[in-house]
Structure 1
């Protein structure tokens, strides 16, 4: 089981990577979802917009794009792309630290891979509840 954090043409100050990887593994275990391989790619708005356009046919800026790459629905093999630019902007917009917002988005991607959606109002409310639960467990 591997979790990797890979900056792509951005500076990233991600603290306590070992602890974060252990927390993400525990998150998957708590949700009853197997985890084989997970790659987080931290990038610019421009790079993530290109991915959003090419693979999802969305022409909008976003903070995260998540891909499930495995064939077994019970075992995750995924890639999560996170725009550091969006994280910084959203942290200011929501009045939280960049560290908190970055972790919220990191957990958001993992929750997507555990089966949580956010397309409807009810799904979004549940997703936000799960994100807040993760933030509380992680930062205590």
Structure 2
């Protein structure tokens, strides 16, 4: 049976906080994002520290704390254009507190952000289950456990 080719991805990977650089090689980040894509995309992934994460969350979401992932989606068709900003200290803290593998957590958040960039929204009750099911499906295909189990 022929596999459907994954959408094209132009990826820029930036490390303002290089703490987890070795855990996030470009080929893995690209694989995780492409698995969640439904259209070709140009995505920048920026790994940041607590200060930058907090500043961005405060300025764009009016919430004065650093969050795990922020998605800035600019265009959804015919090609997705987005920035995904992940806060390394928050991602690490969550993985430790939830007793989950740090790499699996990064993969989940990158898929999560990629889905947001395509219009998925978990803030709306009837869409949350759809988004979570899609995340679980994509992560299973990548060999990661269900993040919601």
> Shorter-chain-normalised TM-score: which range?
0.7 to 0.9
Shift of 1:123: 2.6
Q: Deviations over 1:31-65 (max 9, x none)?
A: 3x231x10000111221110111222222331011
In structure 2, what is the equivalent of residue 137 of structure 1?
A: 141
Match of 2:94 among 84, 90, 93: 90
In structure 1, what is the equivalent of residue 6 of structure 2?
A: none
Note the aligned Cα RMSD (angstroms): 2.0
In structure 2, what is the equivalent of residue 18 of structure 1?
A: 27
CA distance in 2, matches of 1:15, 1:139: 16
CA distance in 1, matches of 2:47, 2:83: 11
1:16/1:139 Cα in 2 relative to 1: closer, same or farther (>3 Å)?
A: farther
Shift of 1:139: 1.9
CA distance in 2, matches of 1:119, 1:26: 23
Q: Which ranges in structure 1 are unaligned for 5 or more consecutive residues?
A: none
Q: Deviations over 1:18-37 (max 9, x none)?
A: 24414523432xx3x231x1
Q: Which ranges in structure 2 are unaligned for 5 or more consecutive residues?
A: 1-8, 145-149
In structure 2, what is the equivalent of residue 2 of structure 1?
A: 10
- Structure 1 or 2: larger helix share? 1
User: Equivalent residues in 2 for 1:16-95 (5 A)?
Assistant: 16-28=25-37, 31=38, 33-35=39-41, 37-70=42-75, 73-95=77-99
List, as ranges, runs of 4+ consecutive aligned residues in structure 1 with deviation greater than 4 Å.
none
Residue 120, structure 1, aligned to residue 121, structure 2: no
Give the TM-score normalised by the residue count of structure 2: 0.78
